[in-house]
């Protein structure tokens, strides 16, 4: 993993991606613009792990380029099962941030990938300042938790 500078072109693309993320839609344009300075951009190699199931939740991610696989350990022997593939514009990591819980799944890059990341501290600031967004995020996380339990 390598952190790379976020330039004006990336910020413009990120702003557009954030507006398409369903739980950021309750935010006004100015509120989304307030998030941008907090976002970091990371580059991962194919096969590199973003985080493992059970790790503390420390960031929310949006796929900028590439693909990641979401895997959960199942059964007695703890084999990993791919439950979802995410590509550009899709997001992950919000569930662990909402309840201060550990990661419910592992995420691994399926090809060279760039991810936008918003740290937990900054994520909580955004939620505290925007109750409508906090409510929408909680609804989405709840739905994803149910989906994850049905797939595992």
Of 68, 87, 89, 95, the residue nearest 21 (C-alpha): 89
pTM confidence score? 0.81
What are the two backbone dihedrals, phi and then psi, of residue 58, each rounded to the nearest 5 degrees? Answer: -125, -5
For the chain, how far is it from start to end, CA to CA, in angstroms? 28
pLDDT at 12 over 50: yes
For the chain, state the CA radius of gyration: 15
User: Which has more pLDDT, 47 or 124?
Assistant: 47
**pLDDT score recorded for residue 135:** 78
DSSP states of the chain: -EEE---HHHHHHHHHHHHHSGGGTTS-HHHHHHHGGG-EEEEE-TT-EEE-TTSBP-EEEEEEES-EEEEEEETTTTEEEEEEEE-TT-EE-HHHHHHTPBPSSEEEESSSEEEEEEEHHHHHHHHHH-HHHHHHHHHHHHHHHHHHHHH-
CATH topology of domain 2-151: Jelly Rolls (2.60.120)
* pLDDT number for residue 149: 44
Mean pLDDT rounded to a whole number for the chain:
84
The pLDDT, as a whole number, for residue 152 is 39
pLDDT at 127: 76
Per-residue pLDDT tens for 53-74? 999 888 889 999 999 999 999 8
Q: What are the structural domain ranges in the chain?
A: 2-151
Average pLDDT over residues 40-62: 94
What pLDDT was estimated at residue 96? 61
């Amino acid at each position: 993993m390598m952190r790379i500078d976020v330039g004006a072109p990336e910020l413009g693309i990120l702003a557009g991606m954030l507006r398409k993320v369903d739980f950021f839609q309750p935010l006004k344009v100015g509120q989304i613009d307030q998030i941008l300075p907090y976002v970091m951009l990371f580059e991962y190699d194919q096969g590199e792990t973003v985080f493992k199931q059970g790790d503390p939740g420390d960031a929310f991610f949006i796929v900028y380029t590439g693909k990641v696989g979401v895997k959960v350990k199942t059964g007695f022997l703890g084999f990993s099962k791919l439950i979802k593939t995410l590509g550009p514009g899709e997001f992950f990591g919000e569930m662990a941030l909402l309840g201060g819980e550990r990661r419910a799944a592992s995420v691994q890059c399926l090809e060279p990938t760039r991810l936008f990341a918003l740290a937990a501290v900054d994520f909580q600031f955004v939620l505290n300042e925007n109750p409508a967004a906090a409510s929408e995020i909680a609804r989405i996380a709840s739905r994803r938790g149910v989906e994850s339990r049905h797939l595992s």
